[in-house]
Amino acid sequence: MIRIEPRAPSPLVNLAVPVLAALVALLLAAIPLALAGADLGQAFALMWQGVFGSLFTVTETLTRAAPLILTGLAAAFAFRARLWNIGGEGQLYLGALAAVAVGTGAISAPPAVMIPLVLLAGALAGALAMALPALLKIRFGADEVVTTLLLNFVVLLFVQMMLEGPFKDPMGMGWPQSEPIVDAAMLPPLVERMRLHAGLLIGLVLALVLHVVLGRTAWGLRIRAVGENPAAAAHAGIPVGRTLIGAALVSGGLAGLAGVGEVAGLKGYLTADLSPGYGYAGIVVAMLARLSPLGVVAAALFIAGVFVGADSMSRAIGVSSYLADLVVAIALLTVLVGGFVSQYRLVRVRAGGEGA
């Protein structure tokens, strides 16, 4: 018989578990690859090359990491308060829509005004999108997992409606896409002639800020207390509802910023296929980071690498590009199991007899 016992936290285990989980997820990709009949050695080599092969591939990975850091932070921050924000995808699209609303010529001002303005608009839109499910949870006890998931579909339909209606680019040859963001509102590129943009810096700075907020401020402590034990938090005089709303606004705002980065940093205009699921991948990033803001940066880089590497590999050898999604999904499950290993240990219990 086996018994489960809690174990004391160890920094080494806390670091090793997500790293191992990520590696195991990558290794498990061998199974679908083999089933698809690929040469495994070649496939992994191509994946490596697809990420580290050139300056271009490295900046591509960083470009992919930029929205993932933000959606990862959005999920991690909300999860810390035990607020299950699964609506990152919808909040991202609303953020992008808000950026387009103010950034396509409605207002004209120099970059020093325009850039903060689109960022603010996007963050605000995302924050409001998360405020609704948070309010429904606090006021009516409606499970926010289900409401945020369902709202993702609503928001995407809303964005499509806008792109076919008031936001439609008259010069877009009939395609449902928005007018382009004006130059003054575009986030500056970070590397000459590459697609990498300042959205990455925003993500890095916010990761650092959230790290300090959670660990060193009274508000961060309140959020953690509400998340870990709302009854004890309420008993200790912490306003649970208000704290949750605050966490919800920040979380939604972060996901909204991811949307701003994609339209105002990368694409330049909004379409209904802006995000290949960054909102959902953000959940994987957050779990892989074990909800630590600094860990989110590392986890986002890993997931971005999986996307970029698997994409380029699958193009090269003709395997379905859904392989990347498969690896990301497996990573979520391996890190979940890893979390168990780091929190508990299994103790073999000898049955009866003279053993001690």
Partner 1 sequence: MSQTTEGGTVPPRAGAGEVVLEMAGLTKRFGAMLANDRIDLTLRRGEVLALLGENGAGKTTLMNLLFGHYLPDAGQIRVADAAGALQPLPPGAPDAAIAAGIGMVHQHFTLAHNLTALDNILLGTEPLFALRRDRRAARARVRALMERSGLAVALETQVGRLSVGERQRVEILKALYRGARILILDEPTAVLTPQEADRLFETMSAMAADGLSVIFISHKLREVLAFSHRILVLRQGRNVGGMATAEADEAAIARLMVGEESPPPPAKREAPGAPLLVLDGVTLPGEGARAGLDGVSLTVRAHEIVGIAGVSGNGQAALAALLSGLAAPAAGTMSLAGREIRRFTPAGFLEAGVGRIPEDRHHDGVVGAMTLSENLVLEELDTPEVTSGGFLRRGAIRARARAAIADYDIRAPGPDVPVRLLSGGNIQKLILARVFGRSPQLILANQPTRGLDFGAAGAVVRRLLEARERGAGVVLISEDLDEILGLADRIAVLQGGRLAEARSRDRGAIGMMMVGQAA
Partner 2 sequence: MTEVLEILANANFWAAAIRIATPLVFGVLGALICERAGVLNLGIEGIFTAGAMAGWMAAWLGAGLWGGVLAAALTGAGFGLLHALLTVPLGLSQHVSGLGITLLATSAAYFAYRTALPDVSSPPRIEPFGALDIPVLSELPFLGPALFQHTALTWLALAMVALVWWVLARTPLGLAIRAVGDNPDAVDAQGLSVYGLRIGAVMAGSALMAVGGAFLTMAAFDAFFFGMVNGRGWICIALVIFASWRPWKALLGALLFGAFDAFQVRLQTELGGAVPGQIFLMAPYLLSIVALVLAARRADYPRALLTPWFKGQR
For residue 319, the SS3 value is coil
271 binds, among partner 1, partner 2, none (CB under 5 to 8 A by kind): none
Q: If binding means CB under 8 A, how many residues of this protein chain bind partner 2?
A: 48
Residue type, 8: A
233 binds, among partner 2, partner 1, none (CB under 5 to 8 A by kind): partner 1
Which DSSP helix (H) or strand (E) runs through 3?
strand 2-6
Is 152 in contact with 158 (CB distance < 8 Å)?
A: no
Among 23, 157, 205, 209, binds partner 2 (CB under 8 A): 157
Q: Is 97 in the site for partner 2 (CB under 8 A)?
A: no
Site string for partner 1, 204-223 (x = CB under 8 A): ------------xxxx-xx-
337 binds, among partner 1, partner 2, none (CB under 5 to 8 A by kind): partner 2
Shortest distance in whole angstroms from residue 222 CB to partner 1 = 7
Q: Is 340 in the site for partner 2 (CB under 8 A)?
A: yes
Q: Is 161 in the site for partner 2 (CB under 8 A)?
A: yes
Is 169 in contact with 106 (CB distance < 8 Å)?
A: no
Q: Is 356 in the site for partner 1 (CB under 8 A)?
A: yes
Among 284, 285, 300, 304, binds partner 2 (CB under 8 A): 284
DSSP tag of 321: T
Strand partners, 4: 346
Among 120, 150, 201, 221, binds partner 2 (CB under 8 A): 150
39 binds, among partner 1, partner 2, none (CB under 5 to 8 A by kind): none
Q: Is 13 in the site for partner 1 (CB under 8 A)?
A: no
Tell me whether residue 121 is exposed, middle or buried, using C-beta atoms within 10 angstroms of its C-beta: 0 to 12, 13 to 18, 19 or more: buried
CA distance 73 to 252: 10
Query: With respect to partner 2, which residue has the nearer C-beta, 1 or 231?
Result: 1
CA distance 198 to 134: 30
Shortest distance in whole angstroms from residue 101 CB to partner 2 = 18
CA distance 204 to 147: 29
Following DSSP, what letter does each residue of 44-60 receive, concatenated?
A: HHHHHHHHHSSHHHHHH
Tell me whether residue 168 is exposed, middle or buried, using C-beta atoms within 10 angstroms of its C-beta: 0 to 12, 13 to 18, 19 or more: middle
320 binds, among partner 1, partner 2, none (CB under 5 to 8 A by kind): partner 2
Query: With respect to partner 1, which residue has the nearer C-beta, 3 or 315?
Result: 3
Give how far the C-alpha of residue 91 lies from the chain's centroid of Cα atoms, to the nearest Å: 11
Among 149, 194, 204, 238, binds partner 2 (CB under 8 A): 149
Among 140, 174, 192, 350, binds partner 2 (CB under 8 A): 140
198 binds, among partner 1, partner 2, none (CB under 5 to 8 A by kind): none
Residues 6 or more apart in contact with residue 63 via CB below 8 angstroms: 194, 195, 196, 197, 200, 266
Site string for partner 2, 302-321 (x = CB under 8 A): ----------------xxx-
How many CA within 13 A on the CB side of residue 309? 23
Q: At what angle do helices 218-228 and 199-216 cross, to 10 degrees?
A: 80
Site for partner 1 in 290-349 (CB under 8 A): 349
83 in the Ramachandran plot: left (φ > 0), alpha (ψ -120 to 50) or beta? beta
Tell me whether residue 58 is exposed, middle or buried, using C-beta atoms within 10 angstroms of its C-beta: 0 to 12, 13 to 18, 19 or more: middle
216 binds, among partner 1, partner 2, none (CB under 5 to 8 A by kind): partner 1
Q: Is 273 in the site for partner 2 (CB under 8 A)?
A: no
Contacts to partner 2 by CB under 8 A: 1, 3-4, 32, 35-36, 84, 86, 136, 140-143, 145-147, 149-154, 157-158, 160-161, 164-165, 280, 283-284, 287, 318-320, 322-323, 325-326, 328-330, 332-333, 336-337, 339-340
